[in-house]
Structure 1
Amino acid sequence: MKNLPIYMLALIAGISLSIEAALGGALGENIGKLESTYYIFVVGALSLFLGVLFFGKGDLTQVFKVPKWTLTGGALGVIYLSLLIISVTFVGVGLSITVVIIGQLFTSIVVDHFGWLGTKRISIDRNRVIAIGLLLLALVFI
């Protein structure tokens, strides 16, 4: 399986996301939910700044030349993390992440189907619909 290293990276990302949700929820209970989101982004930005400074190979000046709609990811990240932290404090990490995954999968399938946002077109098929159905079923059990 030639993509195994990529799958492992994605798995680590998922593990990190669940741990971040739990930490953010706990922090949010103590300092406030939006304050927790802010803190996480500040620490993340500082950490990433060091990563870019020492290991970055791109060209940040290109940010002024790209289509403006491609710059909205930062705002979506704030919305995502804020809402995740809020939901974790009410329903827990497992249920919150399950619902996040359902939302991600459904939206990803629609984006792929229509080729939105510069993605490759991949049609919705029976397997993808079944996958969403099974995740909805998992939500009932979690």
Structure 2
Amino acid sequence: MGVVIGLQTSINSRLRQSVGSPFMASLISFTVGSGFLAVITLLIDHRLFFTPHLFSQQPAWLWLGGVFGVVYLTGNILLFPKLGSVQTVILPMFGQILMGLLIDNFGWFHAKVSPFTTVRGGGALLVLLGVIVTVALSDWLLKRRAALDAAPTTTASASLWLWRLLGIGAGMLGAAQSAINGHLGLVLRSSLDAAFISFFVGALTLLVINLLLRSSRQLTQPTDRPNPWWMWVGGVIGALFVLGNVYLVPILGTGLTVVIVLVGLMGGSLLIDNFGWLESQRNPVTLVQIVGLLIMVGGVALIHLA
């Protein structure tokens, strides 16, 4: 799941180049994913949606998974120009790991309780250290000479710290989405129904955002070559990712599911960079990045053993 979501990021980035707006690209992705899940749900469960009385019987947060997913996605879009690529990766991941441990420890969103232990905490720190080594240390080594020649930087402003807190908060909502959708699947007794509803709510949320922002609806061809067919399938990958989360969270718990997916995401991103898949710029994987990925795997093993 983590590996394929890395592919979705590259696919949606290419779609954004053609439609001109990140919010419109996200809307198309969510709409395609909703349609895909609707077809699969009708074929297997022979129904969509649910009985209306569930609105009065279940807590309001049960229907917010799709909204949280949109906030997480939009947060990454907004963070990149403010904080750069490294912090945009690390801060939301830190938020996801932190929220995953909190949800498991306190049983929030009716999640399976897995009390916090020193071993689990050490495993989470190892995963975060692996992310830092894979992303930040590798980036620092590439830019070390430029950093030494640059003038000393001033202390980060208060607004910059607010953006960093936003990044952590967006990551926490991403983990909350996994827990909420997992419980929604149990309530509806169908992982497919839960994934469809989450995507459908996300698509409606993005439709409202695009209408308010009056996003461009013009399709362009940013290169001399025709737009590739695969730029339209990001929503299918995202739908399978959400469906996988709905299925795994009740079995593994939110914390373990989140960190395993993060390891897959980092591994998939390194594969895309190394081979230049999906028209991305080729950046060969370094030994430092491989070491960082192995540290993350060790952290996952510790959490699992706990």
Q: Confirm whether residue 122 of structure 1 aligns to residue 279 of structure 2.
A: no
Structure 2 residue identity aligned to 1:72: V
Tell me which structure has the larger Cα radius of gyration. Answer: 2
Partner of 1:132: 293
- How far apart, CA to CA, are the structure 2 residues paired with 1:69 and 1:63? 16
Q: Confirm whether residue 3 of structure 1 aligns to residue 83 of structure 2.
A: yes
Check 1:123–1:4 CA distance in 2 against 1; reply closer, same or farther (3 A cut): closer
TM-score by length of 1: 0.88
Following superposition, the deviation at residue 58 of structure 1 comes to 3.1
| Count of matched residue positions in the alignment of Structure 1 and Structure 2 | 140
Q: Confirm whether residue 52 of structure 1 aligns to residue 213 of structure 2.
A: no
Check 1:77–1:3 CA distance in 2 against 1; reply closer, same or farther (3 A cut): same
RMSD: 2.2
- How far apart, CA to CA, are the structure 2 residues paired with 1:92 and 1:56? 40
Gap runs ≥5 in structure 1: none
% identity of equivalent residues: 25
Following superposition, the deviation at residue 114 of structure 1 comes to 1.2
2:198 to 23, 32, 40: 40
Check 1:139–1:16 CA distance in 2 against 1; reply closer, same or farther (3 A cut): same
Gap runs ≥5 in structure 2: 1-81, 89-163
Larger RCO, structures 1/2 (Cα 8 Å, 6+ apart): 2
Following superposition, the deviation at residue 125 of structure 1 comes to 0.5
Partner of 1:103: 264
Check 1:10–1:121 CA distance in 2 against 1; reply closer, same or farther (3 A cut): farther
TM-score by length of 2: 0.43
Following superposition, the deviation at residue 11 of structure 1 comes to 3.6
- How far apart, CA to CA, are the structure 1 residues paired with 2:197 and 2:169? 22
Residue deviations 1:16-72, cap 9 Å, x none? Answer: 22010000011111012111111101110000000011114333x418973211111
- How far apart, CA to CA, are the structure 1 residues paired with 2:211 and 2:297? 42
Partner of 1:28: 185
